Amino acid sequence: MNTGSIARVIGERGFGFIAGDDGKQYFFHRDGLTPTLVFDELAGGEKVTFEIEANPKGPRATQIRRA
């Protein structure tokens, strides 16, 4: 399980970015959130845990939940 914080949320487009504690930035889509996390309630700086999934456009965060 990876850890990081919400770096940016683009609400109208349904995606955002997580700043991983490993120094990398990960794309996420609203469908990558666990059911306990509501996309419209995400705030920048919020600590999260997540899995990394391979994607043709680069690594993508999935199974995102509050830390």
- Tell me what pLDDT residue 28 has: 97
Each domain of the chain, given as residue ranges in start order, spans 2-66
CATH 3.40.50.720 fits 2-66, yes or no: no
- What residue ranges in 1-67 does DSSP mark as E strands? 2-10, 15-20, 25-29, 47-53, 60-66
- Tell me what pLDDT residue 33 has: 96
Whole-number Å distance between alpha carbons of 45 and 59? 20
Give the pLDDT of the chain (67 residues) as one tens digit per residue. 999 999 999 999 999 999 999 999 999 999 999 998 999 999 899 999 999 999 999 999 999 999 9
